[in-house]
Amino acid sequence: MLVGQRNLSERVGQLQGGYFLVTGIWPLVSRRTFEALTGRKADYWLAQTVGVLVLCIGGVLLTADRHKRLTPELEALAASSAAALALVDLVFVLRGRIRRTYLLDAALETALAAGWVARRRLHMQKGFDGSGAG
């Protein structure tokens, strides 16, 4: 793993936390701009519900990262939530249910999930015990 990749994998909690904060709060603060990019939503409350959940995950990731407490369980939550959101984006774009702009989110979510895999591998190489201290 290159030095730049190592630094990036160590920052994946900050990256995902920040991305999730922004994308989670967006449907809560500006329906007009959110729907301008993502398309009109028949059940906007559902977009807001997903937004709140994503916002919560982002906040927890940022807090855990700041306190050096990104445990294997939080890493699994982060990686699986990013992978799940990417999969949902891809499936529903292919079915024609959501705009193709969601493919950008799918790519970013996939990169985040891959970042967690890289982080886990790096920690295994370093011999971290999984306590969240590293």
What is the model's pTM?
A: 0.88
pLDDT of residue 127: 78
Q: What is the end-to-end Cα distance of the chain in Å, rounded?
A: 18
- What residue numbers bound the domain in which 51 lies? 3-123
Report yes or no on 133 lying in a domain.
no
- Report the C-alpha gap between 70 and 132 in whole angstroms: 5
Report yes or no on 52 lying in a domain.
yes
Report yes or no on 130 lying in a domain.
no
| pLDDT tens, position by position, 27-72 | 999 999 999 999 999 999 999 999 999 999 999 999 999 999 999 9
| pLDDT tens, position by position, 78-111 | 999 999 999 999 999 999 999 999 999 999 999 9
- Report the C-alpha gap between 110 and 95 in whole angstroms: 19
| pLDDT tens, position by position, 117-132 | 999 988 888 876 555 4
- Report the C-alpha gap between 56 and 53 in whole angstroms: 5
Report yes or no on 134 lying in a domain.
no
- Domain tally, the chain: 1
| pLDDT tens, position by position, 1-12 | 555 555 776 799
Report yes or no on 128 lying in a domain.
no
Report yes or no on 106 lying in a domain.
yes
Q: What is the DSSP letter of 81?
A: H
In terms of phi and psi (left: phi > 0; alpha: psi -120 to 50; beta: otherwise), the region of 34 is alpha
- Report the C-alpha gap between 134 and 119 in whole angstroms: 10
Kindly give, in sequence order, each residue whose CB lies less than 8 Å from that of residue 114, ignoring residues fewer than 6 positions away. none
